[in-house]
A = this chain, B = another copy of it.
Amino acid sequence: MKKRHGKILSVLRFDSKGLIPAIVQDYKNKQVLMVAYMNRRALVKTLDTGKAHYWSRSRKKLWMKGETSGHIQKVKEIAIDCDSDSILLKVDQRVAACHEGYRSCFFRKLKGGKLVVSARKVKG
């Protein structure tokens, strides 16, 4: 399986912990949904299944987004940046990306020095 993905795995620059940040964007309305981290295994799993997998830095394990919530991400497109040290995933996000029930994890905006919740929950 890995051989099949040799090109992108050889180009990408994973950090000293073997991780690379993945920016996740709604492929339809272009909203930035979340930032997560991938190791090589998470990327290979993502490529093989078409569903986004990440490395949890807190739980120290591979996880598929939505494995418990059902809020999976079908990957529509993958791009990498000029330095090859970050990944952009365009996804079809089911329900909500954020575990707090918001569509996007970036639901707080800075306004006049304060952080203001600027979105409504899509899931209670």
Q: Spell out A's residues near B (CB within 8 Å).
A: 4-5, 7-8, 11, 21, 23, 25, 29-32, 34-35, 77-83, 86, 88, 98-100, 102, 105-110, 113-115, 118
Q: A21-B35, A32-B25, A109-B77 are in contact. Are A100 and B115 (CB under 8 A)?
A: no
A11 to chain B, nearest CB (A): 6
A100: chain B residues at CB < 8 Å are: 82
A84–B69 alpha-carbon span in the complex (Å): 21
Chain A binding surface, main DSSP class: mixed
Quick check: A113 and B7 within 8 Å, CB to CB?
yes
Q: A80-B115, A82-B107 are in contact. Are A23 and B30 (CB under 8 A)?
A: no
Picked from B78, B82, B106, the residue with its CB within 8 Å of the CB of A79 is: B106
Quick check: B7 and A109 within 8 Å, CB to CB?
no
Task: With CB as the reference atom, state the residue of chain B lying closest to A75.
Answer: B110
